[in-house]
Chains A and B, each alone.
Chain A
């Protein structure tokens, strides 16, 4: 049963990832990434980390992907030109990617970590539940936790500065800034699990 779930989720994750790379329309790429994220959440559940799986669904599928869909709808998915700045880029790049995978696989297979071949130690049913993660976040990793909340706030301010409609002259200085709430609103939900 576990193997069936693993291979199903692994196929979903891999198919989603290949879909992101292969789809010509950016909107389909975003949809493929959503499939990929759902499959990854199943894998996280198989690794008995329920909180990370829930955070994955809420943060990515819930907030980040909505942001992506909005931006793709706003910018519009144009076709990419066939022009290559480096000759043979379309053939060289997959070759380099395969080389990277082979390198990583050699690193995993030749690793001296004996526990890699096992299912991991037996853990209690409370492993990875919100209480355990919350305890770790607020007791042991309090400073990284606060630093990440600071980072989220800085990112929100940065997004408003970057994408906000700035007055380009005295004439437009008094116009209502209707664009800013739209940019700032999706930032809020991403900060919840932190």
Chain B
């Protein structure tokens, strides 16, 4: 398969993740859609690394995985903290910080 296919698939997955972030309101699902977008980026990085014939892009993808794991840990920590305070788990109602 040519590299183009992988890149087009990656942009498709990225778009699906973006749609999810725009239409869903549960913070957990929004975090899941963020994962989708990060994974689409990872797929593009690995595909480009294969295109160049060099493993450095894969190291980049691993660092993205670490960042995604950190984002999950902090995001889920926030969700648990919100839940403990008996606040609604809905991003449209959690609008105190909005200008």
Residues of A within 8 A of B (CB): 2-3, 6, 10, 13-14, 17-18, 20-21, 26, 29-30, 33, 36-37, 40, 43-44, 46-49, 51-52, 55-56, 59-60, 63-64, 67-68, 71-72, 74-75, 77-78, 80-81, 83, 85, 89-90, 92-94, 96-98, 100-101, 104-105, 108-109, 113, 115-121, 123, 127-128, 132-133, 136-137, 140-141, 144, 148, 151-152, 154-156, 158-163, 165, 183, 186-187, 190-191, 193-194
Q: Write the nearest CB–CB distance from A53 to chain B, whole angstroms.
A: 9
Contact assessment for B55 and A128 in the assembled complex, using a CB-CB cutoff below 8 Å: yes
Interfacial chain B residues near A74, Cβ < 8 Å: 80, 83
A109–B30 alpha-carbon span in the complex (Å): 30
Q: What is the interface of chain B mostly: helix, strand, loop, or mixed?
A: helix
Q: A109 to B13, alpha carbons, bound, how many Å?
A: 17
Residues of the B chain whose Cβ atoms lie less than 8 Å from the Cβ of A158: 73-74, 77
Q: Determine the chain A residues whose CB is within 8 A of the CB of B90 once the complex forms.
A: 80-81
Q: Could you say which residues of chain A place their CB within 8 Å of the CB of B8?
A: 105, 108
Residues of A within 8 Å of B24, CB to CB, are 21, 80
Would you call the interface of chain A mostly helix, strand, loop, or mixed?
helix
CB-CB < 8 A to B13: which residues of A? 13-14, 17
On whether the beta carbons of A115 and B35 are closer than 8 Å, the reply is: no
Do residues B47 and A10 form an inter-chain contact, with CB atoms below 8 A? no
What CA separation (Å) do A187 and B51 show in the bound complex? 34
Known: A13-B13, A17-B17, A52-B61. A29 touches B56 (CB 8 A): no
Question: Bound complex: CA of A148 vs CA of B66, how far in Å?
Answer: 7
